[in-house]
Chain A
């Protein structure tokens, strides 16, 4: 595992999850997640996924530092999410970060790309469940861990205003 591919995996994860790099590193699980994807799907798939992400970023590169959001969204859809091989893996990376769990890929995928280990649903470590980003996204604690304290449930949830947008439309 090279330091370079780890960096690229983080960048990909930021785009997929909308959590900042520091948040992702803060889970302490980024290395294990990359290793999990490698173990499950094989080196070839990981290289292709990171390559496709690099290309998507290049498609979207504006003049400034950060990419053009609309272009990036389109490039990710075209290059990754709609791809038979990469789409299911990218969606699994999202779920890995959000739920701390690798969801088994269907036999159509594993048969086609010869990575049978990818078919098994498994947790990464006991900690990965607790670090799932899902709980942070909904301003709750993972049931059974990171207790928020007596009576905290009586207060409104601390969800950033921009995520409330859709709900109050």
Chain B
């Protein structure tokens, strides 16, 4: 399939004219969650308005090339480096994280962090959202992840089961375009429909993975009385591989290519650029622009970019949202903006697990359960790094092709957190800034040049092995997003304040992970170089040992779904218990983050919710009066600075 991002689609809707339109649905956020819902509602003939905080030109060819150029030229190639700084719709950056000292929150960056634990977790506020720079690992959750409270007495149960979600996982794998093989992904209770195959065949394991597998496969691990054998397993990936002819009962699958340009050499198969984070140069990797481009082919989908939702207005009598007030800024950095309003039958917040509760709380909507913004979850990453005895050719392939998943589930979760393990094809890049730091060290401290430098580089870089343990963090109401009028951004929006601590349950998993890494390195004959710096912003001590803990970018929990309105914010359809026509969608709805990267599950949940929205739209056809008391005046304004 080849869909091009329709030229001018981000500009074709006149914001001022939309204020008098009653849309079937108003969606806040043009990331994967918003894009999927927009595409499914419009396909069923419903009119949709997407409000996107970031600038909208980015998915055209020029825009995407601009991202690439900014990345190549950046002196710091951190994971937001391709994306423009937009003071009117700011975003967190991995390099923002600072050590937090008790009693003094760090307000130096967009997310105000009140600690006690600091995080470098990020998301991207551009059209297409955070999938512009995600890594695109797409594992399903395990069946047991939906029943954590019942099975292990930890975390919460979902109002849904794996089987409820399975058909939507299938559909999400089609939408994202997942490359994987069923035989590799069937483990720990994950099952697939009879005859199911993924849209594309699995990406081959890297040479580095294969070297690790030689020694790790078959390694026995005993935990909570159960012995299991480790194995290096390929990850399912949201990037284009070789289409599987058996897909869809033999009809096959046509990969979705680049949407911002004609497909000459771009948009095809993953070429192994090893740059999936922060940006795939050829769009082999899925980004939500692909879903948006398809949705915007329909005239029913309107998009207003540079539109930051500011306030959700409700009618206390009808218990319905009446309108969303937003600020439409003139230029990314200018203080000029116009206040506008969007009206619809349904309102869908798809701005992610930090921005959804931020907007609700800034609108004074704390939820009758008081849980809005609470139970913030993410993954806690622990890295361990070593040098293999032989050259493994590190720094080739996608960021990560293989990992170890055998400790994602099991009875031990009664006592300690589960984790999955990534084998990083980009060496010690994440832990220690390799390979540039190695180069600098060899030249400046090692006095190397010429042949000795070349040998030194191969010796130091091409043998690198970095394991990343992605450890689960259970829901805890005191880990939360709040707002405070004392902290606002340029446009006058209240900024998110994050209060976050890592529970002991997770730290037990972290400590176990470190022990396991030592065993793995010993089995490989690798030199362990792991050393945790007490001055690191995410340094955490547990049982006398210190660890560097990093953020996972897998935001969840802040508007948790449940069966009971007093202990959850949304129902299984992601519909807000308090307001009949309001949906809060995305990772925020997830009651457990468990050990899978969240986006495939977010996509599946949104595909499921789209059905509920269509049912609701068809059931509710009463006339809605769109002149409300709270209606904001549309007039140009300036932010007082």
Residues of A within 8 A of B (CB): 15-18, 76-77, 81, 90-91, 94-95, 98-99, 101, 103, 121-123, 125-127, 129-130, 134-135, 137-141, 143-145, 147-157, 159, 162-168
Q: Are B72 and A129 in contact (CB under 8 A)?
A: yes
Which of A16, A134, A150, A162 is the one whose CB lies under 8 Å from B241? A150
Q: Are B271 and A150 in contact (CB under 8 A)?
A: yes
Which of A15, A98, A156, A166 is the one whose CB lies under 8 Å from B393? A156
Would you give the 0/1 interface string for B270-292, flagging 1 where the beta carbon is closer than 8 Å to chain A?
A: 11111100010110000000000
What are 10 of the A-B contact pairs (CB < 8 Å)? A17-B450, A137-B457, A143-B274, A144-B71, A144-B273, A145-B275, A147-B272, A147-B273, A153-B401, A154-B206
Interface contact tally, CB-CB below 8 A = 163
Q: Bound complex: CA of A40 vs CA of B171, how far in Å?
A: 56
Q: Are B396 and A141 in contact (CB under 8 A)?
A: yes
Q: Is B444 an interface residue (CB 8 A)?
A: yes
Q: Is B615 an interface residue (CB 8 A)?
A: no
B518 to chain A, nearest CB (A): 22
Stretch at the interface among B340-348, B370-378, B432-440, B533-541: B432-440
B181 to chain A, nearest CB (A): 14
A134 to chain B, nearest CB (A): 6
A127 CB contacts on chain B under 8 angstroms? 72
A122 to chain B, nearest CB (A): 6
Whether A95 contacts B440 in the complex (CB less than 8 A), given A144-B68, A144-B273, A152-B272, comes out as yes
Main secondary structure of the interface of B (DSSP, over half): loop
Q: Are B396 and A168 in contact (CB under 8 A)?
A: no
A119 to chain B, nearest CB (A): 13
Report the interface size class on chain B. 35 or more
Q: Are A157 and B439 in contact (CB under 8 A)?
A: no
Would you give the 0/1 interface string for B436-473, flagging 1 where the beta carbon is closer than 8 Å to chain A?
A: 10011001100101110111111101110000000000
Which chain B residue shows the least CB distance to A147? B271
Would you give the 0/1 interface string for B186-201, flagging 1 where the beta carbon is closer than 8 Å to chain A?
A: 0000000000000000
Q: Bound complex: CA of A135 vs CA of B279, how far in Å?
A: 19
A18 CB contacts on chain B under 8 angstroms? 449-451, 453-454
Q: Bound complex: CA of A103 vs CA of B443, how far in Å?
A: 12
Q: Bound complex: CA of A115 vs CA of B390, how far in Å?
A: 44
Which of A98, A141, A154, A164 is the one whose CB lies under 8 Å from B273? A141
Whether A154 contacts B210 in the complex (CB less than 8 A), given A16-B449, A17-B450, A144-B279, comes out as yes
B271 CB contacts on chain A under 8 angstroms? 147-150
Q: Are A122 and B241 in contact (CB under 8 A)?
A: no
A91 CB contacts on chain B under 8 angstroms? 443-444, 449
Which chain A residue shows the least CB distance to B429? A143
Q: Is B633 an interface residue (CB 8 A)?
A: no
B274 CB contacts on chain A under 8 angstroms? 140-141, 143-144
Q: Is B104 an interface residue (CB 8 A)?
A: no
Whether A167 contacts B462 in the complex (CB less than 8 A), given A103-B440, A141-B274, A150-B272, comes out as yes
Q: Bound complex: CA of A29 vs CA of B207, how far in Å?
A: 32
Q: Bound complex: CA of A148 vs CA of B270, how far in Å?
A: 10
| Contacts of B417-436 to chain A: CB distance below 8 A | 425-426, 435-436
Q: Are A155 and B207 in contact (CB under 8 A)?
A: yes
Which chain B residue shows the least CB distance to A149? B271
Q: Are B281 and A123 in contact (CB under 8 A)?
A: no
Whether A164 contacts B396 in the complex (CB less than 8 A), given A16-B449, A76-B449, comes out as no
Q: Are A153 and B272 in contact (CB under 8 A)?
A: yes
A134 CB contacts on chain B under 8 angstroms? 435-436, 439, 457
A140 CB contacts on chain B under 8 angstroms? 274, 393-396
Interface-centre pick from A18, A101, A103, A138 (highest chain B CB count, 10 A): A138
Q: Is B398 an interface residue (CB 8 A)?
A: yes
A126 CB contacts on chain B under 8 angstroms? 69, 72-73
Interface-centre pick from B241, B390, B394, B443 (highest chain A CB count, 10 A): B443
Q: Bound complex: CA of A97 vs CA of B443, how far in Å?
A: 12
Q: Are A138 and B270 in contact (CB under 8 A)?
A: no
Q: Is B397 an interface residue (CB 8 A)?
A: yes
Whether A138 contacts B273 in the complex (CB less than 8 A), given A144-B71, A157-B396, A159-B393, comes out as no
B270 CB contacts on chain A under 8 angstroms? 150
A86 to chain B, nearest CB (A): 13
Q: Are B443 and A95 in contact (CB under 8 A)?
A: yes
B439 CB contacts on chain A under 8 angstroms? 95, 98-99, 134
Q: Bound complex: CA of A125 vs CA of B75, how far in Å?
A: 11
Q: Are A144 and B281 in contact (CB under 8 A)?
A: yes
A63 to chain B, nearest CB (A): 22
B391 CB contacts on chain A under 8 angstroms? 157, 159, 164, 167-168
B457 CB contacts on chain A under 8 angstroms? 134, 137-138
Q: Bound complex: CA of A149 vs CA of B440, how far in Å?
A: 29
Which chain B residue shows the least CB distance to A150? B269
Which of A94, A143, A159 is the one whose CB lies under 8 Å from B275? A143
Q: Is B205 an interface residue (CB 8 A)?
A: yes
Q: Is B492 an interface residue (CB 8 A)?
A: no
A144 CB contacts on chain B under 8 angstroms? 68, 71-72, 273-275, 279, 281
Which of B207, B401, B426, B449 is the one whose CB lies under 8 Å from A157? B207
Q: Are B396 and A153 in contact (CB under 8 A)?
A: yes
Interface-centre pick from B73, B393, B454 (highest chain A CB count, 10 A): B454
Q: Are B455 and A81 in contact (CB under 8 A)?
A: no
Q: Is B45 an interface residue (CB 8 A)?
A: no
Which of B241, B396, B444, B458 is the one whose CB lies under 8 Å from A152? B396
Q: Bound complex: CA of A162 vs CA of B401, how far in Å?
A: 29
Q: Bound complex: CA of A135 vs CA of B564, how far in Å?
A: 56
Q: Are B393 and A157 in contact (CB under 8 A)?
A: yes
Q: Bound complex: CA of A143 vs CA of B436, how far in Å?
A: 12
Q: Bound complex: CA of A124 vs CA of B436, how far in Å?
A: 16
Which of B204, B397, B450 is the one whose CB lies under 8 Å from A15? B450
Whether A166 contacts B455 in the complex (CB less than 8 A), given A91-B443, A140-B393, comes out as yes
Which of A98, A141, A145, A155 is the one whose CB lies under 8 Å from B72? A145
Q: Are B72 and A163 in contact (CB under 8 A)?
A: no
B443 CB contacts on chain A under 8 angstroms? 91, 94-95, 98
Q: Bound complex: CA of A125 vs CA of B440, how far in Å?
A: 20
Q: Are B75 and A121 in contact (CB under 8 A)?
A: yes
Q: Bound complex: CA of A36 vs CA of B207, how far in Å?
A: 38
B65 to chain A, nearest CB (A): 10
Q: Are A165 and B72 in contact (CB under 8 A)?
A: no
Which chain B residue shows the least CB distance to A164? B391
Interface-centre pick from A95, A154, A155, A156 (highest chain B CB count, 10 A): A154
A15 CB contacts on chain B under 8 angstroms? 449-450
3 A-B pairs with least C-beta separation = A157-B393, A153-B397, A147-B271
Whether A149 contacts B272 in the complex (CB less than 8 A), given A81-B447, A140-B395, comes out as yes
B275 CB contacts on chain A under 8 angstroms? 143-145
Known: A94-B443, A153-B425. 10 other contacts (CB 8 A): A91-B443, A94-B449, A125-B73, A134-B436, A138-B395, A139-B462, A152-B396, A153-B397, A155-B207, A167-B458
Which chain B residue shows the least CB distance to A130? B72
Which chain A residue shows the least CB distance to B462? A138
A132 to chain B, nearest CB (A): 9
Which chain A residue shows the least CB distance to B425? A153
A17 CB contacts on chain B under 8 angstroms? 449-450, 453
Which of A95, A147, A154, A162 is the one whose CB lies under 8 Å from B204? A154
Which chain A residue shows the least CB distance to B265? A147
